[in-house]
Amino acid sequence: MSERKSHKLGPIVSSSHLAQGAMPALSEFEFGLIMASHAFHRWMVRCMTAAGHPGMSALDVLVLFSVHHRTKPKRLADICLVLNVEDTHLVTYALRKLEAAGLVKSGKSGKEKTVTLTEKGEQACIKYREVREDLLVDTIRSLGLKPETASELARELRVLSGHYDQAARAAASL
């Protein structure tokens, strides 16, 4: 019988050279964030496809949900701010795509262009929620994740995103 040796691999990271710095745990966190981000984007696309709206990107879905939020007209700048998207042309493209699909419609508020959800867009959001409840929420609840814990994780991610934004601004000035 062969004896197995126990090896300490260290933190699971995407780039070992970053884990060699002053805070290896941050590299571990970043790798988890990368994995979660890609999985979440893949989920949104596939969930929206299952909801009957194939061909949408993750950003298209996020923009649709942003327009749906609180059911009041949104400006491009508001959507970009809420989603933390610098490249307004990406959101503009998503809005054009959503409008072509009949999910949103353009309007005006004074001199500014606005966008609102159509009935078809409302139905798409409802169907997405139903698929999400059936396929994702129930399985995550079975893990025992408490709502308070999920809220705390969300708060921590928002705080950390502010630090990454500040660091990005500093890096842009170098």
Q: Give 56-100 pLDDT, tens digit per residue.
A: 999 999 999 999 999 899 999 999 999 999 999 999 999 999 999
- Residue 115 placed within a domain: yes
This prediction's pTM: 0.88
- Does 21 have pLDDT greater than 90? no
Render pLDDT for 110-159 as a digit per residue (tens, 0 to 9): 889 999 999 999 999 999 999 999 999 989 989 998 999 999 999 999 99
Domain count, the chain: 1
pLDDT for residue 110? 87
User: Are 60 and 51 a contacting pair, CB within 8 Å?
Assistant: no
Domain containing residue 89: CATH number: 1.10.10.10
State which residues form the domain around 75: 23-143
- Residue 83: inside a domain: yes
Local structure of residue 137 (DSSP, 8 states): I
Let me know if 77 is exposed, middle or buried by CB neighbors in 10 A (0-12, 13-18, 19+). exposed
24's tokens? 């290896």
